[in-house]
Amino acid sequence: MKKLRNILLVITVVFSLASCIDSYTPVIKSNDKGKYVVMGKVDMNDSVQTVNVSMTSSISDPNYIAATGCTVEILDNNGHNFPLRDDGDGNYTGEIDPQYMVPGSAFKVSIKVPGGTDIESDYDTISSCPPVDTIYYKQESEYTNNASNEIKGIQLYTNLKGQNSDSRYYKWSLTETWEYHSKWPIRWYYYLGTIYHVVPDDYSKMVCWHTIHIPSIYLLSTKDLSENDYTQFPLNFVGSDTRRLEYGYSLLIKQEALSHSAYNFWERMRLNNSSNGGLYEKQPLTVQGNLHNITDPAIQVLGFFSAISSHSKRIFIHPIPGLQLTFQEFCNIRILRKGIIELKGLDYPVYLVGDEKTYAPLVYTAECVDCTLLGGVTKKPDYWPN
C-alpha cells in the first residue's frame, strides 16, 4: 500500500484558462466554390507518382471533396503516355520507368472528369537536385504575440550545396516523428459493473510514436546569388512546451528542385497562407497554377502539376543538453468521492489507480495508460534507434 499512498500524495488540480478571439469571415466570391483542384507531380526520385483531384468547398463549411472516377494520365514531351490508377478518395497513382525521368524531360497531366470536363496542365521540366548537405539545430527562443512570452526550444536548419548545373529554385517538405510515453501501465479497470485486475501489468500502450507532415511551406531561390549554395536555411522550430523533445525527435526533410514556374506558384501559396493565418491551407483558393479547363476555358482550375527531382535526409535528436522541458502534463487523476458508484455512465473501460494488491477510489484519464489516444501508434518505426 505504500505505492498507493504515494500516488495519493501527488494528485494536483490543474485549472485551464480560456481566451476569447473575435472571429473573422473573409469575403469569398461565389464562383470560388465548386472549382476543380489538382495537385500532383512527377518526381524522378520516387517510384510512384501521385495526382490528387478534388473540388473546392465553401469557406464557411470547409470540406475535402474528392473527385473520383476520373481518367488520369501523365504525358512527357517525347510522346509517351503513363496512365494512373484510381486509388479512391481523389488519389491517382502510377509508375513511370526511370529511363524517361531525367533532368531536362518535361511532363504534363491530362484529366477527364466524369460528365465531360477535360483538364490539362502545362508542361513542367525536371531540374537537377543536389543531395541534402546537412541538417542540424541550435537552441534558440521564439516569442508569441506577447513579446514577453519566451518559448525556448530548438531551431532546425539545413545547408544547401548545389552545382551550377542544378536548379536555382528549392522547396523543402518536412515530416516529424517523436516518441512519447503514457505515465502508467494498465493495472486495474472497471467495465460494466465489474472491476478487473490485470496481471501482469499491461505495458503494451505505454510507448508510442507520432508522425505528422508539417504544413508550412519552405522555399529558397538562389537565382540572384553568385553561388548555388546557402548556409543556415531555417526550417521548423520545436518548443520546449511540447512533448516532442522528451524521449526522442526525428525530422525527415525532402529537398525538391523546382522549375521557375513551380517556385512562383508555391511562393504565392506561401504568401497567401501567411497573410490570412492559414485559412486556405486545405485548398489553394485564389492562387492560379498551370492547369486549364480545356472544355470550358472560362472556368478556373486551381493547383499545380510539377516535375521535380529530390533528395531526402533524416536527423534524430536526443537528448538536448541544458534544455528544460515545460509542457503541461496530459494525465489527470480524479477522486471518486462516492466510490465505485460514480463510475456508472462513464466511458468504459474506466482505469483505476492501484498497486499490485488493491485499487483506490481514484480514476485515471485514459491517456494516462493508453498513449494511442494522443494520436500515435505503438509500432516502432524501422528507422528509430534502439
Q: Which residues contact 130 (CB under 8 A, 6 or more apart)?
A: 160, 161, 162, 163, 166, 228, 255, 257, 311
Does residue 268 register a pLDDT over 70? yes
Q: Which amino acid is at 282?
A: K
One domain, residues 159 and 206: yes
Does residue 7 register a pLDDT over 70? no
333-352: average pLDDT: 88
One domain, residues 170 and 210: yes
One domain, residues 69 and 159: no
One domain, residues 164 and 200: yes
Cα–Cα dist 36/59, whole Å: 15
One domain, residues 106 and 182: no
One domain, residues 226 and 262: no
Please indicate, yes or no, if residue 284 is contained in any of the structural domains. yes
Q: Which three cell numbers stand for residue 5?
A: 499512498
Q: Which residues contact 214 (CB under 8 A, 6 or more apart)?
A: 174, 175, 176, 236
Q: How confident is the model at residue 254 (pLDDT cuts 50, 70, 90)?
A: very high
Could you report the per-residue pLDDT of 179-195, keeping only the tens digit for each? 999 999 999 999 998 99
Please indicate, yes or no, if residue 247 is contained in any of the structural domains. yes
Could you report the per-residue pLDDT of 288-318, keeping only the tens digit for each? 899 999 999 999 999 999 999 999 999 999 9
Q: pLDDT at position 270, please? A: 93
Please indicate, yes or no, if residue 8 is contained in any of the structural domains. no
Please indicate, yes or no, if residue 220 is contained in any of the structural domains. yes
One domain, residues 172 and 242: yes
One domain, residues 171 and 294: no
Average pLDDT, the chain: 89
**Partners of 333 in beta bridges:** 364
One domain, residues 123 and 137: no
Q: Residue 81 in contact with residue 64, Cβ under 8 Å?
A: no
Measured CA to CA in angstroms, residue 33 lies from 92, 155, 273 at distances of: 23, 38, 18
One domain, residues 341 and 362: yes
One domain, residues 157 and 273: no
Please indicate, yes or no, if residue 382 is contained in any of the structural domains. no
Please indicate, yes or no, if residue 207 is contained in any of the structural domains. yes
Give the total number of structural domains in the chain: 2
Please indicate, yes or no, if residue 25 is contained in any of the structural domains. no
Q: pLDDT at position 132, please? A: 98
Domain assignment of residue 200, given as a range:
131-251+329-374
Most confidently modeled of 6-20, 136-150, 244-258, 285-299? 244-258
Could you report the per-residue pLDDT of 234-249, keeping only the tens digit for each? 999 999 999 999 999 9
SS3 37: strand
One domain, residues 44 and 81: yes
Please indicate, yes or no, if residue 2 is contained in any of the structural domains. no
